[in-house]
Amino acid sequence: MSLIEITQTSHPVILELLYATDKNFTGKVIYKNARCFLHEKAMPLFEKAILLADRQGYQLKIFDTFRPKQAAQALWDFCPNPMYVADPQKGSNHTRGVAIDLTLVDKASGQELNMKNYELDMGTPFDDFTDDSHHSAVLPPEIARNRYMLLGIMMSAGWDFYNNEWWHYQLFSPRDYPLIEEDYGIMGLCNAA
């Protein structure tokens, strides 16, 4: 088993790894290095999602993928709410390398507005821990349409979703994958694998 690194050179995606900045729900930098990895078994589904998004005029914007154990612990210490943050004692699907947090960017609107990326309005920001972030939230039609577009792309590519977070997708049966001890250089604790 191994993780594969995703870069903006290796794949036509936008990386905005918010835990490598202070623009996340903790207000602190969690990742020392902004690096993005997925489990090798997730890569074909990820690449299919890129293709499906592109065919609809969208690009994927990634907020988080593999999350080292130390980072999972820091998030839990800040917000020990199992509805939104995985208890590190049980393990996170991110720490297994089989989960991805992302949104859609409208390529055409971004070009028209002369912006590098024009995120679709999903009604809440990433890591909004309210009922409005749930897939079942009652939302204005335009926002619901945007979320359903992301949901349709990801599910058509073979991903499962988590009902409480519109941005979170994972492989089916994620607990079948082991927790990953290596930090892959994200926390600055060791060299990347």
Measured CA distances, 110 to 57, 59, 60, 114, 158 (Å): 11, 11, 13, 6, 27
pLDDT in tens, 114-134: 566 788 999 999 999 999 999
Domains of the chain: 3-176 (3.30.1380.10)
Q: What is the mean pLDDT of residues 142-162?
A: 97
Higher per-residue confidence, 110 vs 52: 52
- Judge whether 47 counts as a catalytic residue: no
133 is written with which tokens?
């972030």
pLDDT in tens, 66-108: 999 999 999 999 999 888 998 888 889 999 999 999 999 998 7
Q: Among the options 16, 119, 165, 182, which is catalytic? A: 165
| pLDDT band, residue 110 (cuts 50/70/90) | low
Is the pLDDT score of 192 beyond 60?
no
Return d(Cα 180, Cα 140) in angstroms, integer.
39
Return d(Cα 146, Cα 119) in angstroms, integer.
10
Is the pLDDT score of 47 beyond 90?
yes
